[in-house]
Amino acid sequence: MYQKELEALRKSSRLRERMIYDENLLDLASNDYLGFAHMPKLLDRAYQQVQRSAAHAPKASQLVNGYHPIHREFEAYLCERNGFEAGIVVGSGFLANLSLLEALPRKGDLLILDREYHASGIVGSRLCGAKVCYFEHNDPKDLARILESEHYHRAIVAVEGVYSMEGDLCEREIFEVAEQFGALLVVDEAHSAGVLGEEFLGIFEHYGIIPKANHIKMGTLGKAFGSYGAYILATEEIVTFLQNRAKAIIYATAPSIFDIALAYEGMKYLQEHQKRYRTQRQENFTLCERVLGIKPQSAIVKIEIGESQRVIAMRDILLEWGILVGAIRPPTVKKAIIRLILRLHLDVEVLEGALWRVKEVTDG
Stretch that binds ligand PLP, among 122-130, 172-180, 187-195, 286-294 (CB under 6 A): 187-195
**Residue 179: how many other CB atoms lie within 10 Å:** 14
- In sequence order, the β-bridge partners of residue 327 are 338
Determine the Cα–Cα distance for residues 133 and 148; give it in Å rounded to an integer. 13
Binder of ligand PLP out of 58, 66, 93, 255 (CB under 6 A)? 93
Report residue 26: phi and psi, to 5°. -80, 115
Using the rule CB under 6 A, is 125 a contact of ligand PLP?
Answer: no
Binder of ligand PLP out of 39, 130, 195, 230 (CB under 6 A)? 230
Using the rule CB under 6 A, is 336 a contact of ligand PLP?
Answer: no
Stretch that binds ligand PLP, among 45-53, 86-94, 135-143, 252-260 (CB under 6 A): 86-94
Stretch that binds ligand PLP, among 88-96, 137-145, 257-265, 296-304 (CB under 6 A): 88-96
Which residues, 100 to 119, sit near ligand PLP by CB under 6 A?
118
- In sequence order, the β-bridge partners of residue 165 are none
| 206 Cβ contact partners less than 8 Å away, ≥ 6 residues apart | 161, 169, 192, 196, 197
Determine the Cα–Cα distance for residues 338 and 315; give it in Å rounded to an integer. 8
Q: How far is CA 75 from CA 61, 83, 85, 157, in A?
A: 16, 12, 10, 24
How many Å is the maximal CA-CA distance in the chain? 58
For ligand PLP, give the closer residue by CB, 92 or 144. 92
| Contact status, residue 203 vs residue 188, Cβ threshold 8 Å | no
| Contact status, residue 264 vs residue 49, Cβ threshold 8 Å | yes
Residue nearest to ligand PLP as judged by C-beta position: 93
Binder of ligand PLP out of 43, 144, 186, 190 (CB under 6 A)? 190
Using the rule CB under 6 A, is 217 a contact of ligand PLP?
Answer: no
What is the helix (H) or strand (E) element at residue 114, kind and residue range?
Answer: strand 110-114
Using the rule CB under 6 A, is 164 a contact of ligand PLP?
Answer: yes
For ligand PLP, give the closer residue by CB, 140 or 202. 202
Using the rule CB under 6 A, is 222 a contact of ligand PLP?
Answer: yes
| CB 272, min distance to ligand PLP, A | 24
Stretch that binds ligand PLP, among 70-78, 92-100, 107-115, 261-269 (CB under 6 A): 92-100
Using the rule CB under 6 A, is 92 a contact of ligand PLP?
Answer: yes
Site string for ligand PLP, 284-303 (x = CB under 6 A): --------------------
Report residue 13: phi and psi, to 5°. 55, 35
- In sequence order, the β-bridge partners of residue 338 are 303, 327
